[in-house]
A and B are shown apart, each in its own frame.
Chain A
Amino acid sequence: MENKAIEISEIEFGYYKDQTIFSNLSLDVNVGEYVCVIGHNGSGKSTLAKLLVGLNEVRKGEIKIFGQVLNEENIYSLRKKIGIVFQNPDNQFIGSTVRDDIAFGLENACVKHEDMEEIIHEYAKKVNMEEFLDKEPGNLSGGQKQRVAIAGTLAMNPSLLIMDESTSMLDPKGKREIRELTNMLRQENKKLTIISITHDIDEALQADRVIVINQGEVVLNDKPEVVFKNEEKLKEVKLDIPFSYKLNQVLNKNNIKVDSVDFEGLVKELCQ
């Protein structure tokens, strides 16, 4: 049993000759881990996602997925283990109905028609879209479309789920729906590895680990409660910290001494 889902060692990459996005990047993700990757626009986050699914090739170094070095020969077999959900809900709706959309991947994988119907129902139910199976994408909200995209991905039974800013175009309700879904998936399948590239600090708070990337380098890599206490570093790479962490800091700067970094804890301390 392999216990690393991803091992990236000393990779170098750029899209064209004179460009270097990663000069020497290394990081690991364990099986069953939920990791959020944060960084400002242009920090290299999405490039990382593309490298992980083999859409682009590294110049130097190697990427191992479940113990296998990613190369041209095994890319197709490895991709079967990887699901990816992109940013724009409108760009990834393929079918003319929710049912067709979830079926798309299954059809490509030559799943028998009899089995397909059952699988579609199972995953539509999981993302709470069962009653929308015959609806057209135009009649769905952004959050609903993303849930369908996730269902289509999950129907392929991936071991690694990559979410590339999957919530950044959604309204707060849509964001919450996807956060809740992610949590549910983790509870159900402890072996599912999730990498979420995100701007949503509230999501990052729920992760097992937060990796902060800036200019192609890992600048912080730790539990959320450790990462978000490092205000200086985060400020340096132009990132925000969650509300309760920030309130804690501003209060202390104003000589109102508090220790808590969570909402309820702060209420309690301020009301003593």
Chain B
Amino acid sequence: MPVVFSHLNYIYSIKTPMEFSALKDINLQIEDNSFTMIVGHTGSGKSTLVQQINALLIPTSGIVDVNGIVVDCNVKKLKNIKELRKGVGLVFQFPEYQLFEETVLKDVSFGPKNFGVDNKKATELAKEALNLVGIDESLFDKSPFELSGGQKRRVAIAGVITLKPKVLILDEPTAGLDPQGSREMMKLFTKIKEQGTTIIMITHDMDNVIRYGTDVVVLAKGELIKKCRPYELFLDQDSFNSLSIDEPLVIKMAKRLNQNGYHISLENVIDIDSLVQEIKKEKRYE
């Protein structure tokens, strides 16, 4: 389901000396079933932005509309908050720190139980989610604290997707994982997206942005700078330099080759294999 921000402002500690304007007049539509990447410097407002989507933070002014459920500053006690949060799963950074139960299965079924699902059904949903994230049945009765870092993170993510959220928000889900673990994690999100979920992911990894993203949103100092297709971000050298966004090496290579007479279409370059396919199209290799 689409998420629409309109004239949204968010100010931390309003009317105190610590007042800090974290989001300024955000107008943005995140498309249904997109894989939207949110990028920007530390402190640019990325985490503040995504926390508006499930009403962990309530806008100071303006609105956010999640599939018809509108959150604005007038909402004191949100009636549909449960409904909203059922539909929007949020995975914080280093979610493994939030594991707490005695066993993996209990930890993952905590969420649905909390939403009033009965024990049996909750266990069923938990098993299904654990299966999807690739946690073997032999680990279900283990303490989550005995698992490896990568496994813990999978369990934590399983806990969020038990109720099959329509929007899944991920805050730097691959930070601290080894390359293989990181790739498997991205594959998992692609799989979840294919089941119809909208994925919103905060990341610093530009390789993942061009490889998996359908859209990218750039924030700087609380303002929306750009929303575009990932490759479009790198068309204008000056603009991404000033945002201090790292250019993926495949894009950098494609541009260097183009400067030297190649005709590579950046839109098609998402990884090394696609770059080589583009290179092969050149006359000199025919």
From residue B255, how far is it (CB to closest CB) to chain A in Å?
A: 10
By the criterion CB–CB under 8 Å, are B279 and A251 in contact? yes
- Size of the A side of the interface (Cβ < 8 Å), in residues, is 31
Contact segment of A29-37, A61-69, A148-156, A262-270: A262-270
Judged by a CB distance under 8 angstroms, whether A209 is at the interface is no
By the criterion CB–CB under 8 Å, are A171 and B257 in contact? no
Judged by a CB distance under 8 angstroms, whether B68 is at the interface is no
By the criterion CB–CB under 8 Å, are B249 and A173 in contact? no
By the criterion CB–CB under 8 Å, are B150 and A41 in contact? yes
Judged by a CB distance under 8 angstroms, whether A10 is at the interface is no
Other-chain residue from A87, A141, A247 in contact with B276 (beta carbon distance below 8 A): A247
Q: Which residues of A contact B250 (CB under 8 A)?
A: 243
Mask, A233-272, CB within 8 Å of B = 1, is: 0000011100110110011001010000001001100110
Q: Which residues of B contact A240 (CB under 8 A)?
A: 179-180
Interface residues of A in 20-50 (CB under 8 A from B): 39-42
Q: Which residues of A contact B175 (CB under 8 A)?
A: 168-169
From residue A104, how far is it (CB to closest CB) to chain B in Å?
A: 24
Mask, A168-210, CB within 8 Å of B = 1, is: 1101110000000000000000000000000101000000000
Judged by a CB distance under 8 angstroms, whether A83 is at the interface is no
Judged by a CB distance under 8 angstroms, whether A142 is at the interface is yes
By the criterion CB–CB under 8 Å, are A41 and B149 in contact? yes
By the criterion CB–CB under 8 Å, are B279 and A256 in contact? yes
By the criterion CB–CB under 8 Å, are B253 and A247 in contact? yes
By the criterion CB–CB under 8 Å, are B272 and A40 in contact? no
Q: Which residues of B contact A199 (CB under 8 A)?
A: 177-179
Tell whether A171 pairs with B42 under 8 Å between CB atoms, given A246-B272, A267-B253.
yes
Judged by a CB distance under 8 angstroms, whether B261 is at the interface is yes
Q: Which residues of A contact B272 (CB under 8 A)?
A: 243, 246-247, 250
Q: Which residues of B contact A251 (CB under 8 A)?
A: 276, 279
Per the bound structure, the CA–CA distance linking A171 and B257 in Å amounts to: 28
Per the bound structure, the CA–CA distance linking A239 and B175 in Å amounts to: 16
Q: Which residues of B contact A267 (CB under 8 A)?
A: 253, 256-257, 260
Judged by a CB distance under 8 angstroms, whether B280 is at the interface is yes
By the criterion CB–CB under 8 Å, are B179 and A142 in contact? no
By the criterion CB–CB under 8 Å, are A171 and B276 in contact? no
Per the bound structure, the CA–CA distance linking A263 and B176 in Å amounts to: 26
From residue A52, how far is it (CB to closest CB) to chain B in Å?
A: 21
By the criterion CB–CB under 8 Å, are A271 and B257 in contact? yes
Judged by a CB distance under 8 angstroms, whether B136 is at the interface is no
Q: Which residues of B contact A271 (CB under 8 A)?
A: 257, 260-262
From residue A255, how far is it (CB to closest CB) to chain B in Å?
A: 8
By the criterion CB–CB under 8 Å, are A41 and B148 in contact? yes
Q: Which residues of A contact B246 (CB under 8 A)?
A: 172-173
Interface residues of B in 224-264 (CB under 8 A from A): 244, 246, 249-250, 252-253, 256-257, 260-262
Judged by a CB distance under 8 angstroms, whether B204 is at the interface is yes
Q: Which residues of B contact A239 (CB under 8 A)?
A: 178-180
Tell whether A173 pairs with B253 under 8 Å between CB atoms, given A41-B150, A199-B179, A267-B260.
no
Q: Which residues of B contact A244 (CB under 8 A)?
A: 249
By the criterion CB–CB under 8 Å, are A243 and B178 in contact? no
By the criterion CB–CB under 8 Å, are B42 and A168 in contact? no
Q: Which residues of B contact A266 (CB under 8 A)?
A: 253
Interface residues of A in 39-94 (CB under 8 A from B): 39-42, 87
Known: A173-B244, A266-B253. 10 other contacts (CB 8 A): A39-B178, A40-B179, A40-B180, A41-B149, A169-B176, A172-B206, A199-B177, A240-B179, A243-B250, A250-B276
List 9 A-B pairs, Cβ < 8 Å. A41-B150, A42-B148, A87-B176, A247-B272, A256-B285, A266-B253, A267-B260, A270-B257, A271-B262
